[in-house]
Amino acid sequence: MCGIAGSVNCKLTKESIDLIHHRGPDSQALIEIEMGNNHLFFGHTRLSIQDLSEAGAQPMFTDCGNYCITFNGEIYNHKELRQRLSDVNFKGQSDTETILYYLKQFGIEGVKDFNGIFAFSFFDRAKGKLYLVRDWFGTKPLYYYLNGNKLLFSSEIKVILNNPEYKKDIDETALNSFLTFRYNPAPQTLYKDIKKLEAASYLEFNLDGTVKYTDYWPKVQKINNDITEEEALVEYRRLLDQSVKRQLLSDVPVGLLLSGGLDSAVLGKLMSEKASYQIKTFTVGFEGKGNYNELDDARITSQLINSEHHEIYMEKDTYMNYFYKSFFHTEEPIAEPTIPALYYLSNLASQHVKVVLSGQGADEPMAGYKRYKGEKFISDYRKILSMLPLSLASTLFPNNSTIDRGIYSAKFKDELDRFIAIYTLFTPDLKGKLYQGGLQDQIGMDQKFLFQKAFDRTDKNADSLSKLLFLDTRTMLPDNLLLFNDKLTMANSIENRVPYLDIDLVNYLETLPIHLKLKGQMGKYIHKKASEAWLPKSIIHRKKRGFETPVGDWFKSELSDSLTDLIDSSDSLSRKYFNVPFIKDMIQQHRTMKRDYKKQLFILLSLELWHSSFFKSDFSSQPADLQSVIG
- Catalytic sites, residue numbers: 2
User: In sequence order, what E strands does 315-351 have?
Assistant: none
Cα(232)–Cα(266) distance, rounded to whole angstroms? 18
Distance, CA of 126 to CA of 123 (rounded, Å): 9
Beta-bridged to residue 43, according to DSSP, are: 5, 30
Question: Among positive and negative, which fits the CA dihedral 493, 499, 505, 506?
Answer: negative
* 254-257 vs 355-357, strand pairing mode: parallel
CA distances to 301, 451, 462, 468, 469 from 287, rounded to whole Å, are 21, 38, 44, 35, 33
Residue 141: strand, helix, or coil: coil
For 59, residues 6+ apart whose C-beta sits below 8 A from its C-beta are 29, 31, 42, 43, 44, 68, 69, 70
Burial (0-12, 13-18, 19+ Cβ within 10 Å), 152: buried
Distance CA(458)–CA(130), nearest Å, equals 31
CA distances from 170 to 77, 193, 446, 611 (A): 40, 9, 19, 10
C-beta of residue 77 within 8 angstroms of C-beta of residue 114: yes
Biggest CA pair distance of the chain: 72
> In which element (H, E) is residue 525 found?
helix 525-530
- 257 marked as part of a ligand binding site: yes
Beta bridge partners of 38: 35
User: Known binder of ligand: residue 211?
Assistant: no
**Is 358 annotated among the ligand-binding residues?**
yes
Q: Give the Cα separation of 166 and 280 in Å (integer).
A: 43
* Residue 493 marked ligand-binding: no
Query: How far is the C-alpha of 96 from the C-alpha of 357, rounded, in Å?
Result: 21
Q: Which residues of 378-398 are buried (b: 16+ CB within 10 A; e: fewer)?
A: bbeebeebeeeeeeebbeeee
* 3-class state of residue 100 by DSSP: helix
Write out the binding residues. Answer: 95, 257, 284, 358-359
Write out the binding residues for L-glutamine. Answer: 95
Write out the binding residues for ATP. Answer: 257, 284, 358-359
